[in-house]
Structure 1
Amino acid sequence: MTITSASTSTSTDSLLIDGRQLIGREWVPSATGRTIDVINPANRELLARIPRSDAADVDAAVEAAEQAFPAWRDTNASVRASIIFRWADLIEQNADELDQLESQEVGRPSWGPSRLPAQLRFIAGQVDKVQGVSLPTYSPDTIGFTLREPYGVVGAIIPWNAPGAMFLNEVGAAIAAGNTIVIKPAEDAPLTPLALAKLALDAGVPAGVINVVTGYGSEAGAAIPAHPRIRRIGFTGSPATGSLIMEACARNLTPLHLELGGKSPQVVFADADLDAAVPAMVAGITLNTGQICAAGSRVVVMRSIHAELVDRLAAEMQKVTVGPWHQPVTMGPLINEKQYDRVLNYIELGKQGGADVVTGGGVPQGDLYGNGFFVQPTLFDNVSPDMRIAQEEIFGPVLSVIAVDTEEEAIAVANGTDYGLVASVWTQDVGIAVRMSRALNAGQVGVNNAIGAGVIGGPFGGYKNSGFGRTMGADSVLNWTQVKTVSMRSATLPQF
């Protein structure tokens, strides 16, 4: 299959099979034969077709995963690790092709050198570190210890905003622990996950260990948490869908982790280095067109520097160039028409609510934008904390500025949403940094960092309605295991 954009073409014949998904060792259509069009968000042209699967396809994938599980579970950890390391090597060898593929289906410009190989190598390095512990016993004729064992067949549902990284987060850690997996990528951006699965097979991951089922969330997606033989679930998406996933898991008592988005505050104190803060904050809200759960979408600023900060943010936002991924731009389109309408609706809600549009607030004009889902980077000032644009996740390049007078007020505003994923603090005062790091209700706090911790192996996850459970950290593989306690007593009673 060859994917073609308006002015550039990229051959993906070696990585993709048009209209097919991976179940067991076979690339197959859906059981019904139906397909879904994958659209280029920059021009609405057809990129590819994927199977429109349903519960029957999920059931077939579970069967394949069950057949593969015993042998994969019993493969020793060093061998599993070596296979995953080979997978990372193949991803590195195909990094440019994968980056262009994801750019086209998501709409983003290139993010530079791929971090996917390093991400997978970090996981592979944990495989042979999965260990139990010895336990104290009441008598010397007994020993006690714990085993870490895989769940069996597990499932995952990932979103469209960063499909490559999301796929490896879930699949890499799950199979590293010895599980087999059935994963559904988003119907808007399934191509990079399918290509990564192809590379996994090429690396030697056995057939059935990774199964990729494509389709709509209400059909294929809903069948995964509802399946009684899937023993753990990972989901990243909206709180509304997360609630439905959790309800379905509850019927089968299936454990899960949820990452459900954010409304991340960036608290700016009077002593902040604005030369560093302003470009970082603008990059943080325009990266991937603001379609990042960790995007810092609320600026909570001390009133003494409020006017200066707004002026500098506006000037920086006006430097953001918008266009198709293959152009020398810094921001691409939104993913689809639904998201396009959603973001524009929130911009109108902000205007109607009394916030002031400082820059942006509409769509760019010109032939370059054609039928694409492009919007302008938008900065709102004089936003009150109770406005919808300050409370609800927009998932677009919309930044709201809220002025406060004290540290206590800043904490109250920053914590005053249902979300708690990421928070940032901009200050040169160590005391403020320490107090804010403790006071902010978020799973990640960055000091002088716009998106988050910026560290290797930092556990990622949320507080409150941002979900529960952690990925990406040193425990990411352990999180896909369950603990068994073994008590072993001598068959011969001791003589005293």
Structure 2
Amino acid sequence: MTLAPPGPPPVLPADNAHLIGGDWVPAASGEVIEVLNPATGQVLARVPRGTAADVDAAVSAATAAFPAWRDTSPSARAALLTRWAALIDERESELDQLESQEVGRPHWGPTPMAGMLRFIAGQADKVSGLSLPAHSPDVLGLTLREPYGVVGSVIPWNAPGPMFANDVGAAIAAGNTIVIKPAEDAPLTPLALARLALEAGIPPGVVNVVTGYGPEAGAAIPAHPGVARMSFTGSPATGSAVMEACAKRIIPLHLELGGKSPQVVLADADLAAAIPAIVRGITLNTGQICAAGSRVVVDRSVHAEVVRGLAEGLASVTVGPWYENVQMGPLINATQRERVLGYLDAGRQEGAELVVGGGVPSGERFDDGFFVEATLFDRVEPGMRIAQEEIFGPVLSVIPVDGPEEALAVANGTDYGLVASVWTSDVGKAVTMSRGLQAGQVAVNAALGAGLIGGPFGGYKRSGFGRTMGADAVLNYTQVKTVSLRGTA
């Protein structure tokens, strides 16, 4: 049965308004961006096309709000974050529907934003310094951890709600104020979360959201002289540009730049557990997840069985708009669909064996959206583009290897190092592989991590540097000051 798509839920703020200093205002230029439903191509909402002028206004508002927010008791900040989390819980269904509409994903379980904010709130009043030894007894030495001031963030479109909560929560818990730009393709959930932050009592100017295009609004944030620290999640090319802007101003930066994550399947793996998890891991959010395990590095002794199982699993994946009972939705936009289809062509041209998928689903219901088929390539060589470059789509590349040593070499043989998985029933092999894999996170017998609370997230190599989500999330938004005190006679 085909259901009629619902409209945007009421948690969304007013049309054509972003948040600057507690006010919902249009862009200074008056221009707008249309946010499209990727399943239908229809307009969901219109948001301001912000530019450097809007960023400047947001930084001014954040600067004005900073002294009072910095001096607010950390316990009071924690209480406001907890209240924000409670409001998110109350509107969870609406927020989930909103993100599903703008990203195109089917429902994938409880939204994580409230839990993330509660975890962060628990750190807000645990930030502490050290007492330091001194050369003489009349000197007292200590360190203080202080916020940077106004911090900036640019987040991507694949998981806008969690990305927003993660960056904003940690930044303001530490006493900073923030200017954040969501992706132009998926700004609606961040705007809705910002609305709830205001309702929770977080003061105006502490959280500012500027919508717009990357080269216009996004680039203006690290370039602004009032921004003291940056966070960026997105592509390596844009990350390099952000890093260059930060280098010019000599401000610290956190980068998370994607991955080409291996699923290492050893000969003794439990294939009944591994195969469906790998299928789910690459089709979740239509493969538009930085941690998606897109390379299956499989021992040759179980290669045929793994390919057969993956082919059956991917062929059975149901595709459609988010409001239907399907497993996979569309890609985010037409550009991303053309990008993914280009990689499918490249895989064929380079000699990989196409097993399943390789195109777009047929039928009138798919004509107006940005759908692609879940795709499996076998006998992929490690140097092929589909094995080296982040596709950001539901495309699996199977690379057969002979034994754990070759598996480790192939798994590490890309410029990325975000996430890796190992499938084995041998604890010794699991330990060896976990130590040897060049990745910021390694999951044993799980496709997208094992469901940890507070596990630090970040990359090796071209996947970026810095960590979020862990026990140091709030500390990472502070800088250390050394103080020495000497009494007077």
Say whether the fold is shared (TM-score over 0.5). yes
**Structure 2 match to 1:460:** 457
Asked whether 1:346 is paired with 2:337, we answer no
Residue-by-residue CA offset, 1:206-260 (whole Å, 9 max, x unaligned): 0000000000000000000111110000000000000000000011101000000
Q: Secondary structure at the match of 1:267?
A: strand
Asked whether 1:185 is paired with 2:182, we answer yes
CA distance in structure 2 between the partners assigned to 1:172 and 1:164 by the alignment:
12
Residue-by-residue CA offset, 1:89-129 (whole Å, 9 max, x unaligned): 00000000000000000000011222211111001111010
Asked whether 1:146 is paired with 2:143, we answer yes
Amino acid of the residue matched to residue 472 of structure 1?
A: M
State the Cα distance separating 1:15 from its structure 2 match.
3.0
CA distance in structure 2 between the partners assigned to 1:370 and 1:475 by the alignment:
46
Residue-by-residue CA offset, 1:272-293 (whole Å, 9 max, x unaligned): 0001000100000000000000
Amino acid of the residue matched to residue 65 of structure 2?
A: A
CA distance in structure 2 between the partners assigned to 1:80 and 1:15 by the alignment:
25
**Structure 1 match to 2:239:** 242
Q: Secondary structure at the match of 1:137?
A: coil
* Aligned equivalent of 1:12, options 9, 13, 20: 9
**Does structure 2 retain, via aligned residues, the 8 Å contact 1:155–1:183?**
yes
Residue-by-residue CA offset, 1:372-399 (whole Å, 9 max, x unaligned): 0000000000100000000000000000
State the Cα distance separating 1:411 from its structure 2 match.
0.9
State the Cα distance separating 1:10 from its structure 2 match.
3.8
**Does structure 2 retain, via aligned residues, the 8 Å contact 1:10–1:100?**
no
TM (normalized to structure 1)?
0.97
Asked whether 1:324 is paired with 2:328, we answer no
Amino acid of the residue matched to residue 227 of structure 1?
A: H
CA distance in structure 2 between the partners assigned to 1:452 and 1:251 by the alignment:
36
State the Cα distance separating 1:357 from its structure 2 match.
0.8
Asked whether 1:484 is paired with 2:484, we answer no
Unaligned regions of 5+ residues in structure 1, if any? none
**Structure 1 match to 2:119:** 122
CA distance in structure 2 between the partners assigned to 1:146 and 1:255 by the alignment:
20
Moved more, 8-17 or 56-65: 8-17
State the Cα distance separating 1:451 from its structure 2 match.
1.3
Q: Secondary structure at the match of 1:126?
A: helix
Asked whether 1:166 is paired with 2:163, we answer yes
CA distance in structure 1 between the partners assigned to 2:377 and 2:481 by the alignment:
53
**Structure 2 match to 1:60:** 57
State the Cα distance separating 1:6 from its structure 2 match.
7.5
**Structure 2 match to 1:311:** 308
Alignment of 1:364-443 (within 5 A): 364-443=361-440
Alignment of 1:172-251 (within 5 A): 172-251=169-248
**Does structure 1 retain, via aligned residues, the 8 Å contact 2:35–2:47?**
yes
**Structure 1 match to 2:332:** 335
Amino acid of the residue matched to residue 282 of structure 2?
A: I
CA distance in structure 1 between the partners assigned to 2:295 and 2:426 by the alignment:
21
CA distance in structure 1 between the partners assigned to 2:108 and 2:375 by the alignment:
22
**Does structure 1 retain, via aligned residues, the 8 Å contact 2:142–2:484?**
yes
**Does structure 2 retain, via aligned residues, the 8 Å contact 1:188–1:335?**
yes
The aligned length equals 488
* Aligned equivalent of 1:87, options 84, 88, 94: 84
Asked whether 1:22 is paired with 2:42, we answer no
Residue-by-residue CA offset, 1:155-203 (whole Å, 9 max, x unaligned): 0000000000000110000000000000000000000000000000000
Amino acid of the residue matched to residue 419 of structure 1?
A: Y
Amino acid of the residue matched to residue 337 of structure 1?
A: A
**Does structure 2 retain, via aligned residues, the 8 Å contact 1:153–1:179?**
yes
Q: Secondary structure at the match of 2:66?
A: helix
CA distance in structure 1 between the partners assigned to 2:309 and 2:20 by the alignment:
52
Residue-by-residue CA offset, 1:130-150 (whole Å, 9 max, x unaligned): 011111111110011111100
State the Cα distance separating 1:370 from its structure 2 match.
2.6
Residue-by-residue CA offset, 1:410-449 (whole Å, 9 max, x unaligned): 1110000000000000000011001000100000000001
CA distance in structure 2 between the partners assigned to 1:13 and 1:402 by the alignment:
47
**Does structure 2 retain, via aligned residues, the 8 Å contact 1:174–1:180?**
yes
Sequence identity (%):
70
Residue-by-residue CA offset, 1:27-64 (whole Å, 9 max, x unaligned): 00000000000000001000000000100000000000
Asked whether 1:77 is paired with 2:74, we answer yes
**Structure 2 match to 1:32:** 29
Q: Secondary structure at the match of 2:289?
A: coil
* Aligned equivalent of 2:108, options 91, 111, 115: 111
Q: Secondary structure at the match of 1:266?
A: strand
**Does structure 1 retain, via aligned residues, the 8 Å contact 2:61–2:205?**
yes
Amino acid of the residue matched to residue 359 of structure 2?
A: G
RMSD across aligned positions (CA):
1.0
Q: Secondary structure at the match of 1:293?
A: coil
**Structure 2 match to 1:259:** 256
Amino acid of the residue matched to residue 449 of structure 2?
A: G
Asked whether 1:284 is paired with 2:281, we answer yes
State the Cα distance separating 1:453 from its structure 2 match.
4.4
CA distance in structure 1 between the partners assigned to 2:421 and 2:228 by the alignment:
36
Q: Secondary structure at the match of 2:219?
A: helix
Unaligned regions of 5+ residues in structure 2, if any? none
TM (normalized to structure 2)?
0.99
State the Cα distance separating 1:452 from its structure 2 match.
2.5
CA distance in structure 1 between the partners assigned to 2:6 and 2:196 by the alignment:
21
**Does structure 2 retain, via aligned residues, the 8 Å contact 1:346–1:394?**
yes
